[in-house]
């Protein structure tokens, strides 16, 4: 059994849109500027951000809970389920967030599942305008079932 498996990010991406409070206006403007591209994809986001983007752009954005109320964790769970495969998160590096551990967990899970994660406008611009946005993308990730089986074998049996 292989140590990795190949997953495919489809042509129509499932993009999570998230922003800390101080970055919401910047993300909304970015969504307006890129609405023609974004409307080709499924969009979701944390509660307040999702609502504000929909209100300002008319793009349909499915809202989860707000970040401090577990929205970041919900998005992370959807990444694990394979239902979100791209994240745009305009984080504010100059303001402390009470849910910072959740944000770090979200970033970590995006790394584990090897999905695109933009944490600022420049990165989001580069990713959105990449040729990969218009095609499927195969990527290798850890073979989770094999990893679990191997870990179970190495742990003491009580």
Percent over 90 (pLDDT), the chain:
72
Calpha distance 64→48 (Å, rounded):
9
| 16-30, 54-68, 125-139, 144-158, range with the lowest pLDDT | 144-158
pLDDT band at 147 (very low <50, low <70, confident <90, very high): low
Kindly report the average pLDDT of the chain as a whole number: 91
Predicted structure pTM score: 0.90
Binding residues: 20, 24, 46-49, 66-67, 99
Binding residues for substrate: 20, 24, 46-49, 66-67, 99
Calpha distance 45→74 (Å, rounded):
10
Q: Give all domains of the chain, ordered by start, each with its CATH number.
A: 4-154 (3.40.50.1380)
**Maximum separation of any 2 CA atoms in the chain, in Å:** 58
Cα angle: 110, vertex 91, 95; to 5 degrees: 135
What are phi and psi for residue 81, nearest 5 degrees? -75, -5
Active site residue 102: no
Q: What is the pLDDT of residue 158?
A: 64
Q: What is the mean pLDDT of residues 44-57?
A: 96
Q: What is the pLDDT of residue 4?
A: 86
Q: What is the pLDDT of residue 151?
A: 67
Task: With H, G, I as helix, E, B as strand and everything else as coil, classify residue 73.
Answer: helix
Instruction: Using the predicted structure, report yes or no on whether residue 156 has a pLDDT greater than 80.
Output: no
Q: What is the pLDDT of residue 52?
A: 97
Catalytic residue among 55, 72, 125, 138: 72
């Amino acid at each position: 059994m292989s140590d990795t498996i190949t997953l495919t990010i489809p042509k129509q991406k499932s993009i999570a849109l998230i922003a800390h409070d101080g970055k919401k206006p910047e993300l909304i403007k970015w969504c307006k500027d890129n609405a023609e591209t974004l409307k080709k994809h499924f969009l979701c986001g944390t509660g307040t951000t999702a609502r504000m983007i929909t209100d300002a752009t008319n793009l349909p954005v499915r809202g989860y809970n707000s970040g401090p109320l577990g929205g970041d964790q919900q998005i992370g769970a959807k990444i694990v389920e394979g239902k979100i495969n791209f994240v745009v998160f305009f984080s504010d590096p100059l303001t402390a967030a009470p849910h910072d551990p959740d944000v770090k967990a979200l970033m970590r899970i995006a790394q584990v599942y090897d999905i695109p994660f933009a944490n600022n406008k420049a990165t989001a611009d580069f990713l959105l305008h990449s040729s990969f946005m218009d095609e499927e993308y195969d990527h290798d990730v850890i073979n989770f079932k094999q990893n679990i089986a191997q870990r179970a074998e190495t742990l003491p049996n009580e």
